[in-house]
Structure 1
Amino acid sequence: MIYDPPLPILISALVSVARILKAVASDGKHVLLLWRRAVDATHHFLSPSDRRDIEAEVLSFLPQAPLWLAVDNSDFPIGFMLLDGGHVEASFVDPSKHGSGVGRMLVEHAQCIQLGLTTDVNEQNAQAVGFYEHLGFERTGRSEMDSQGRPYPLIHLRLPPA
């Protein structure tokens, strides 16, 4: 007989994720460092001045934002998600954990909270677009500019309720 463990056990074994937690104020420094590493690894399309401006915006709100954290067995943040109702406003995973199931785990957690998720992804971030489409998100539209009016097109995606 072949043992077929449940998916959460497989994911936990794969990424050494202990659990998903609500962020607290003391997580802010680690979340900012994680955001920087993730953006540096995936957002090469940003101009240096836009990267600095975006970081200034992020510094002003991210540490206090109501985030869900994926943490490792030492409770160290390895990914996070900002969920506003059913909209994934932000989702970032430490680059050393890309492809290990952390992002999927965060999306599955969001689905438990809210059915019918949506998100917007930079068109130039092909890895992120592919990730969401692999999870079943469907394209619903495109914007020429990001939400701050910068020339970084967004792909609008929706995950229909299961």
Structure 2
Amino acid sequence: MVFQKYASHLRAKEYEGEKGLIQSSEGKKRVVLPETKIPVMIDPVKKTEYDELTSVWESSVKATHHFLSEADFEFYKKLVPAFFDHVTLYCIKNEQQQIIAFAGTNEGNLEMLFVAADQRGKGSGKELLLHVLEHSGVTKVDVNAQNEQAVKFYEYFGFETKSTSELDGFGKPYPILHMELKKNPLIEKE
């Protein structure tokens, strides 16, 4: 309930009082992306869409993870599809029904959130984050410390760094920030 209020507060703040939610049905949620004013659905992902997710991951990582070596990029690219079955996945599709962004959660952790490079800055990452805050109870996220835009994005939405690992989960030299959602002082007043 707290996260639902928190997400509603953030959405209201972004839309200056206009609700982004249009309708909701059977696990789907229709929202209007703030930058484009285009209505889109937040849908659960089907296994048949995993190749599309991998393409979005590749586009997103190439646009945001300039610190990765080409060899490490290829290493992670081979592993990514194996993670999809271990998370609850949500996506946003464009008007042509192509996936443009997706998020994966597991036990209160946001395990992945990727937006296609040509869709960055248009609101789909924000809407997916708000969706998982409301519906998946997300309170934690791990972020590459070198991905400064992602760190700022999560900080804006109330996450703070609790600890740092100098190596990622595969022992590679990419420091990871372990972030947790802090209490929002605006909600505490309500």
Q: What TM bracket, shorter-length normalisation? A: 0.7 to 0.9
Q: Does 1:52 align with 2:74?
A: yes
Q: Percent identity?
A: 31
For residues 68 and 90 of structure 1, what CA distance do their matches in structure 2 show? Answer: 10
Query: How much does 1:113 deviate?
Result: 1.8
Structure 2 unmatched ranges of 5 or more? 1-15, 23-30
Q: Report Cα offsets for 1:19-76 as digits up to 9, x if no partner.
A: 1111012211211111110011111111121111111111434378541111223332
Q: Does structure 2 conserve the Cα–Cα contact (< 8 Å) formed by 1:28 and 1:62? A: yes
Tell me the TM-score normalized by structure 1: 0.87
Q: Which has the higher contact order (CA 8 A, sep 6+)?
A: 1
Counterpart for residue 114 of structure 1: 136
Q: Does structure 2 conserve the Cα–Cα contact (< 8 Å) formed by 1:17 and 1:72? A: no
Q: Does structure 2 conserve the Cα–Cα contact (< 8 Å) formed by 1:28 and 1:63? A: no
Change (3 A) 1:4 1:108: closer
SS at match of 1:70: strand
For residues 34 and 141 of structure 2, what CA distance do their matches in structure 1 show? Answer: 28
Counterpart for residue 9 of structure 2: none
For residues 74 and 30 of structure 1, what CA distance do their matches in structure 2 show? Answer: 13
Structure 1 unmatched ranges of 5 or more? none
Tell me the TM-score normalized by structure 2: 0.75
SS at match of 1:45: coil
Superposition map of 1:6-85 within 5 A? 6-8=19-21, 11-12=32-33, 14-15=35-36, 16-62=38-84, 66-85=88-107
Change (3 A) 1:17 1:93: farther
Pick the aligned partner of 2:121 from 74, 82, 99.
99
What do you get for the CA RMSD once the two structures are aligned?
2.3
Q: Does structure 2 conserve the Cα–Cα contact (< 8 Å) formed by 1:29 and 1:63? A: no
SS at match of 2:53: helix
